[in-house]
Amino acid sequence: MSLANPWVAGLIALFFWWFSTGILLWRVRHADNGGPHQHLLSVVYFLPLLGVGLFGIHLSHDDMTVNGAYIAFLSALAIWGWIELAFLSGIITGPNRRPCPAWTPLFQRFLRAIGTIAWHEIALLIGLVGLFFFTRGADNIFGFWTYAVLFFARISAKLNLFFGVPKINTEFLPRPLEHLPSHFRHAAMNPLFPVSVTALTFAGSCWLERIWYAQTPGAAVGFALLSALTLLALLEHWFMVLPLPDQKLWRWMMPNPKDRPDDALGKDANRI
């Protein structure tokens, strides 16, 4: 099948959503099992990924062919992926690295939660603004919109975790971020969730409509990639409320976590 087929583009977006998430989780788990500097080394080793992403955006911003749409999409994923790796590695997080006490009032808990991710959010925002100004007026802005979909979907997901959802999966949470779940909240529902899924559904529908009216194969592929990515973000939101074993998508490829010395001490202490 041709790469210009929107259905093929959707399947490619699905594959890279699954594959890129798995690679990040795999690398972070390996760093968890390694020495004390492995997380920093991960961020350094993957710096070329950031460089490739920036170069791809530059290469494709005036290219509205099918290849240009794919390059812009994958380049945005590369930039996003490196920033996410820096966050999961505990290198770009926030000034607050302590767990949140259970009795903390809502507003104070919100401030503490912001403190845990502040530098990460600033880095993501810099990436969004940078891509906006670089691609403004360009023929191919699919790189910017790819990053924008990821950006706003991630903010929505974090807010829903903060306000409360029925299902919170912390199985793959790395050790540098072990304090994060204390800022989450289990709840049957929160008022933001219906707004989030409605907005993502509407955005996905808009991208799908654009495929139909696309003037060129490159535009059709670009909107198909955006449609698939937005609908996958919608699926990730539904994973927060539906009892589906989504962690099985990546669990099989993860190495078993190793106990740290303090973990062993904790187990011994529990036996006393």
The pLDDT tens digits of the residues spanning 199-243 come to 999 999 999 999 999 999 999 999 999 999 999 999 999 999 998
Strand partners, 186: 165
DSSP string across the chain: --TT-HHHHHHHHHHHHHHHHHHHHHHHHHHHHS-TTHHHHHHHHTHHHHHHHHHHHHHHTT--SHHHHHHHHHHHHHHHHHHHHHHHTTSSS-S--SPPPTT--HHHHHHHHHHHHHHHHHHHHHHHHHHHHHHTT-S--HHHHHHHHHHHHHHHHHHHHHH-BS----TT--GGGTTGGGG--B-S--THHHHHHHHHHHHHHHHHHHHHH-SSHHHHHHHHHHHHHHHHHHHHHHTTTS---TTHHHHTTSPPPPPPHHHHHHHHHHH-
Q: What is the pLDDT of residue 128?
A: 97
CB 255, CB 30: distance < 8 Å: yes
The pLDDT tens digits of the residues spanning 123-146 come to 999 999 999 999 999 999 999 999
Q: What is the pLDDT of residue 257?
A: 77
Q: What is the pLDDT of residue 265?
A: 35
In degrees and rounded to multiples of 5, residue 233 shows phi and psi of -65, -40
Q: What is the pLDDT of residue 259?
A: 65
Ranges of the chain with pLDDT below 50: 261-272
CB 203, CB 230: distance < 8 Å: yes
Q: What is the pLDDT of residue 102?
A: 85
